Amino acid sequence: MRCPFCRTLDTKRKGTTGTAPTGLTGVGKPLQRFWCHACRRSFTIARRTSSTRSRFSSDVVHQAVTDYVEGLGSYRMLARTYSRRLSRDVSRSALNAWVAAAGAAAMTPLEMSRRLAPPGWGGWVGIDGKRLRIGSGDEATLMVAVDQTSTDLIHARVVDHESGDVFATC
């Protein structure tokens, strides 16, 4: 094994790590530790299934975040469920940190629209409202967002009335 510090091959095995992250399929194997004779330092090769010093593998984190985003439970309920399932305590604050990290890594709506924008879209959006009568005299407003270059419909929404607040939420 090559030493990551001095890049020599003068290394030997030196035990294993004390803990291993828990995955959906059970507890993983502890990592192999190595000792470099040249620079007299010990090192561990990084695990691919979880982040450094993590108690849980990335598959657990991904599944827990997916469950929360899909509305399958609160932090408390998911913490209880995963603690039973994995036989290892999962805290509500850990779930909150995982969801926050996933949200921070996600694209903003503007970044996503730039990535998914069809060819021919100019980027100028026009928003207008049209008052409609529905059924027996009820009224509503149809808000429409249109790309001004291609005149493609981007978004439509029925609201009670046309106002600045409604424009901000469309």
Residues 32 and 99 in one domain: yes
Look at residues 85, 105, 125 and tell me which one is the last residue of a structural domain. Answer: 105
pTM over 0.85: no
> In three state form, how does the secondary structure of 32-101 look?
EEEEECCCCEEEECCCCCCCCCCCECHHHHHHHHHHHHCCCCCHHHHHHHHHHHHCCCCCHHHHHHHHHH
SS3 at position 140: strand
- Spatial distance between the Cα atoms of 55 and 89, rounded to a whole number of angstroms: 10
Dump pLDDT digits (tens) for 13-63.
998 877 777 777 667 778 788 999 999 999 988 766 556 667 888 889 999
- 54/120 same-domain check: no
Residue 55 in contact with residue 68, Cβ under 8 Å? no
Tens digits of residue pLDDT in 99-140: 999 999 988 877 877 777 777 777 788 888 888 888 778 888
Kindly give, in sequence order, each residue whose CB lies less than 8 Å from that of residue 122, ignoring residues fewer than 6 positions away: 147, 148, 149, 150
- Rounded to a whole number of angstroms, the distance between the first and last alpha carbons of the chain is 57
Domain that residue 22 falls in = 11-105
Task: Say yes or no: 94 and 122 in one domain.
Answer: no
